[in-house]
Amino acid sequence: MTGSITKDHFEIRLAEEEEIQFLCDLAAGEGWNPGLRDIQCFYQADKSGFFIGLLNGEPIACISAVKYGEEYGFVGFYIVREPWRGKGFGLAIWDHALDRLKGRLIGLDGVVDQQDNYIKSGFQFSHRNIRFEGTAKAQENKAVGLVDVKSFSFDQIVAFDREHFFDERKRFLKAWLGEEGHLGFAAIDGAEVKGYGLIRPYFDGYKTGPLFAKNPVVANDIFNRLCAEIDDSTIILDVPENNTEGVLLAERYGLVQSFETARMYKGGSVNLPLDNIYGITSFELG
């Protein structure tokens, strides 16, 4: 097709379950390194939140606009295939996603050089999320009081997670924590959850997310245990730059910066405990 194609030939529709892998394939093509089973878990969060853009029946674009509860939403997987960029198709599918989340606080993790475009749509910069990457090497100390998240009270994990996210995400967590190959640990003090973290495989190693903890010691204990489980594998940790202790944690394990995003919001105030967020869950769903 040529650049003369008009948007009249462009259709945006809900992605069916058998089509959602298309979003992950495009993300992989952009070098985003999605987890091997990310998209199946993401889909459980909001089955009406994933869209494909088709030009004369050919899929050329995608986006997600996932709703959490009644007040929050997150935009991800905003991709247009290379031959069709700059022709208005991206703006069309972008507007479609924002319209679905109208009236909510909306978040996104965008590439830094697109910040100005997001600002034009009413988004405001919050902070950078920095991707740290390196080889998993556990330290000698072995923490006690860590339990497998798959064998611990799911409702307690959900409640702790809610303290570090904008809304309850029970459907997503049920899939995320239970997925094959996903490995997580929670730090427990008596009956109280002090933190939890999870890793999942991607094509070349493991990605961490989330890593939430009440203090740096707990965060280190959990991350150390995760590293011990995948010794010598590549590991990724995405840290909010504002969490100084999180940055120091990554550096202590020899991880180096490899990528960053701009976390931005539109439509409301933001009050997350970033000091307790040592690793975000994902760039795609927040």
DSSP states along 137-164: ---S---SSEEETTTS-HHHHHHHHHTT
Assess whether 86 and 171 both reside in one domain.
Answer: no
* Interval 48-97: pLDDT, tens: 999 999 999 999 999 999 999 999 999 999 999 999 999 999 999 999 99
Assess whether 188 and 247 both reside in one domain.
Answer: yes
Assess whether 89 and 215 both reside in one domain.
Answer: no
Residue 284 lies in a domain: no
Assess whether 273 and 157 both reside in one domain.
Answer: yes
Assess whether 149 and 252 both reside in one domain.
Answer: yes
Domain that holds residue 236: 131-279
* pLDDT higher than 80, residue 1: no
Q: Give the number of other CB atoms < 10 A from CB of residue 4.
A: 6
Element (H, E) at 251: helix 244-252
CA–CA distance, 148 with 146 (Å, rounded to integer): 7
* pLDDT higher than 70, residue 2: no
Last-in-domain residue among 65, 93, 126: 126
Residue 2 lies in a domain: no
* pLDDT higher than 70, residue 8: no
Assess whether 41 and 71 both reside in one domain.
Answer: yes
Residue 43 lies in a domain: yes
Q: In terms of Cα–Cα distance, which of 160, 144, 238 is closest to 200? A: 238
Helix axes of 170-178 and 154-162: crossing angle, nearest 10 degrees: 120
Residue 56 lies in a domain: yes
* Interval 143-158: pLDDT, tens: 778 999 999 999 999 9
Task: Give me the amino acid identity at 31.
Answer: G
CA–CA distance, 281 with 237 (Å, rounded to integer): 9
Q: Give the number of other CB atoms < 10 A from CB of residue 58.
A: 11
Q: Phi/psi zone of residue 209: left (φ > 0), alpha (ψ -120 to 50 degrees), beta?
A: left
pLDDT for res 118: 96
- How many domains are contained in the chain? 2
* Interval 195-233: pLDDT, tens: 999 999 999 999 999 999 999 999 999 999 999 999 999
Mean pLDDT of 162-183: 97
42 contacts 285 by C-beta, under 8 angstroms: yes
Residue 257 lies in a domain: yes
Assess whether 139 and 272 both reside in one domain.
Answer: yes
259 forms beta bridges with 131
Q: Phi/psi zone of residue 189: left (φ > 0), alpha (ψ -120 to 50 degrees), beta?
A: beta
Q: For residue 17, give the DSSP letter.
A: G
Q: Phi/psi zone of residue 259: left (φ > 0), alpha (ψ -120 to 50 degrees), beta?
A: beta
Assess whether 20 and 158 both reside in one domain.
Answer: no
pLDDT for res 142: 72
Q: Tell me how far CA of residue 1 lies from CA of 31, 84, 93, in angstroms.
A: 25, 9, 19
Task: Give me the amino acid identity at 183.
Answer: L
What CATH number does the domain containing 26 carry?
3.40.630.30
Assess whether 103 and 156 both reside in one domain.
Answer: no
Residue 285 lies in a domain: no
Model-wide pTM > 0.85: yes
CA–CA distance, 140 with 152 (Å, rounded to integer): 25
Q: Supply 62's token pair.
A: 């995608």
Assess whether 179 and 275 both reside in one domain.
Answer: yes
CA–CA distance, 28 with 220 (Å, rounded to integer): 30
CA–CA distance, 194 with 214 (Å, rounded to integer): 6
* pLDDT higher than 50, residue 255: yes
Last-in-domain residue among 106, 126, 146: 126
Residue 286 lies in a domain: no
Assess whether 170 and 252 both reside in one domain.
Answer: yes
Q: In terms of Cα–Cα distance, which of 93, 59, 76 is closest to 129? A: 76
Assess whether 151 and 120 both reside in one domain.
Answer: no
Q: Is 51 strand, coil or helix? A: strand
Q: Tell me how far CA of residue 24 lies from CA of 62, 90, 136, 143, in angstroms.
A: 10, 17, 25, 36
